[in-house]
Each structure stands twice: as structure tokens, then as C-alpha cells.
Structure 1
Amino acid sequence: MNLRKIVTVVEETQAEGGRPVEPAARVAVVAAIIENPWNGQGFVEDLAPGIDANASDLGALLAPRVLDALGEPAEAYGKAAIVGLDGEVEHGSALIHTLKFGDHFRKAADATTLLPAVEKRAPAGVVFDIPLKHITDATIRSHHQTIEVRIADAPHADEIVVALAAASQGRPQQRLASLKTEQ
């Protein structure tokens, strides 16, 4: 894995809807900007060697960092892969949609649900939203949320931004009824 940089963002919401949020709602994102492992190879039929060489290392790098940045137990989580313009969306998907990547985060967060994801191809500086859901029950509405991310100089055309996000709680001031009330 050719790593160019790591970006960490922590957002803390102190008030929402004119009321204090107690405790403050924290969301952390840690993104690794790496060289696309399939860059310059044309269409690659078998992505498995690139997955094997990179996905687990990325998960092992990002999972503890995002939880450290959050500074408290995660209740919601998500992931992202933003591929530079010379790559394919499938390149980002290959890195993040494998247990070799995601299980690092699931184990570190004591989670059981699938990680919600965003993946797309875009130029440097693109704004992207990482969806988050509850770590053990994806039907808990209060934890369906997103965090907006932008890295000014990434991804370069030959890079991929791979990111993990974690939240300490659900949306601030959430008050939607449980999904069970509609079933």
C-alpha cells in the first residue's frame, strides 16, 4: 500500500434545535489517501490480488485510529471509498466491501451489522457524505445519519480515499418513533 497521507476530522455538536446536546454528539472520520493499486494496468479482470495486498492493512490502519479520534465507544459507523478519475468505482468497492477490511472495524467497535458505505469516482476536493448506522441494529432510526467530508487535495487521479467514520451516539435531539411502531 502506497500511503500519501492520513486525514482525521472530529466534529462535536454542542447544541441542536436551540437546545444543548448533553453529552455532546461526537463523530470522527479517519481517511487514508493511497495510490490506487490497479492504477495504470488498464481493465483488471481479477481484483483479488490487489484486495489481498491492501484491504486488511487499510482496515487495520483505520479502525483503531477512528475509534481513538472518537474518544468514546462507537454507537454508529460507516465507510467510504472515493476513487480518483483515472480509476473505477469498482476499485474502491473492492477495498471496502470485503471482510478483510470491515472486520477490523467491527471487532474494534464490538459491532455486528454491515457497515453502510458510499463509493464514487470524483476529482480532488469532492464533497462526500459517509452514511452511518447503529453498530448492532441497523433498524435503530436514531443512528441513521451522515457526516460530510472534503479533503482539498484528494483523491489525485491515481488515488483512492478510503475512510471510516464513527459516532458516539445517534442524531442530536432525535425524536422519531421506533421502526417497530410502524410494523
Structure 2
Amino acid sequence: MTIRKITTIIEDIHQEGGRHVDPAARVAVVAAVIENPWRGQGFVEDLQPGIETTASEIGALLAPRVVEALGAPVEAYGKAAIVGLDGEVEHGSALIHTLKFGDHFRQATQATTLLPAVEKRGPAGVLFDIPLKHITDATIRSHHQTVEVRLSDAPHAGEIVIALAAAAQGRPQQRLADLSTEQ
């Protein structure tokens, strides 16, 4: 795996809806810009060799970094794969939709739910939203949120941005009733 750069973003929300948020609502994102392992190969029928050489390694690299960046217990999480214009969306999906990748994050956070994801193809600087859900119960509405990310110089045409996001809480000032009230 060839890494061009790793970017860490930390967001602390101190006010929402005109009211103070205490403690501040923190979200962290760690994104690695890597060379697409299928770059220049044309259509690749069997993606497994690239998955084997890349997915676990990138998951092991990013999971502890995002947990450390958050600096608090993780309550919500998500992932992203943004593929440069010379790649296929399937290339990003192949890397992040495998237990070899996601289990590193689940183990680091004692999570039990599937990681929500975004994957898309785009040019350098493409804007993307990483969806977040609660780490043990995806039906907890307060933790359904997104974090917006943009790396001004990534992905290049032959790269993939792989990112993990974590939140220390649900949405600031959330007021929706529990899902069970509608069932």
C-alpha cells in the first residue's frame, strides 16, 4: 500500500440552535490518501488480491488514529471510500466493505453494528458526507448524523481516499422521540 498523506479533522460544536452545548460535541475524521491498488490494470475481475494486500492494513492504520483523535469514548461511527476518476466505485467498496477493514474499528470501539458508509468517485476536492450511527444500536436516532469532509488535493485520478469518522455523542440538542414510540 502506498500512502500519499493522512489528514485528521476534529470538529467541536459549542453552540447549536442558539444554545450552549456542554460538553462540546466532538467529531473526528482520519483520512488516508492511498494509491488505488488496481490502478492502470483496466477492468479487474478478481479484486481479492488487492483486498488482501490493502484492506486490513489501512483499517489497522486508521482505527486507532481516529479513536485517539476523538479523545473520548466513541458512541457513533462511519466510513468512506472516495475513488479518483481513473478508478471504479467498486474499488473503494472492495476495501471498506470487508471485515478485514471494518473489524479494526469495531474492535477498537467495542462496536457491534455495521459501519455506515459512503462511497463515490470524484475529482480532487470532492465534497463527501460520512454517515454516522450508534456503535451498538443503529436504531438510536440521536446518533444518526453526518460529518462533511473535503480534501482539497485528493483524490488524484489514481488514488482512493479511505476515511473513518467517530463521534463522542449524538447530534447536539437532539430532541426526537425514541423509535419505539412509533412502533
TM-score range, shorter chain: over 0.9
State the SS of the aligned residue for 1:38. coil
Which residue matches 2:116?
116
Aligned to 1:69: 69
1-side partners of 2:36 and 2:54: how far apart?
A: 10
2:104 is paired with a residue whose SS is: helix
The CA distance in 2 between the partners of 1:109 and 1:59, in whole Å, is 13
Match of 2:26?
26
Structure 1 residue 162 displacement after superposition: 0.2
Identity %: 80
User: What is the aligned-residue RMSD (CA, Å)?
Assistant: 0.3
Please tell me whether residue 98 in structure 1 is matched to residue 121 in structure 2.
no
Instruction: Return the letter of the residue paired with 2:129.
Output: D
Listed as ranges, the gaps of 5+ residues in structure 2 are none
Which residue of 1 is the match for residue 164 of structure 2? Answer: 164
Could you give the per-residue CA deviations for residues 12-46 of structure 1, whole angstroms, max 9, x where no partner exists? 00110111111110000000000000000000000
Please, what TM-score do these two structures have when normalized by structure 2?
1.00
Shift of 1:3: 0.4
Q: Deviations over 1:75-110 (max 9, x none)?
A: 000000000000000000000000000000000011
> 1:129 corresponds to which residue?
129
Aligned to 2:47: 47
Aligned residues, how many? 183
CA distance, structure 2, for counterparts of residue 101 and residue 89 of structure 1 = 17
Q: Quote the residue 1:57 is aligned against.
A: 57
Post-superposition offset of 1:161:
0.1
What SS class does the counterpart of residue 102 from structure 2 fall into?
helix
AA in 1 matched with 2:100: K
Q: Which consecutive unaligned segments of at least 5 residues does structure 1 have?
A: none
What is the identity, as a one-letter code, of the residue corresponding to 2:154? A
2:170 and 2:22 map into 1 onto residues whose CA distance is: 12
Q: Secondary structure at the match of 1:91?
A: helix
Q: CA deviation at 1:72?
A: 0.4
Q: Determine the structure 1 residue equivalent to 2:2.
A: 2
For residues 107-140 of structure 1, the C-alpha deviation after alignment (integer angstroms, 9 at most, x for no partner) is 0011000000000000000000000000000000
Q: Secondary structure, in 3 states, of the residue corresponding to 2:28? A: strand
In the alignment, the residues of structure 1 paired with residue 110 and residue 24 of structure 2 have an alpha-carbon distance, to the nearest angstrom, of 22
Deviation at 1:179, TM superposition (A): 0.4
- What is the TM-score normalised by the length of structure 1? 1.00
- What residue number does 2:82 align with? 82
**How far apart are the structure 2 equivalents of 1:36 and 1:102?**
18
1:175 is aligned to: 175
| Partner Cα distance (2:50, 2:121) in 1 | 18
- What does residue 37 of structure 1 align with? 37
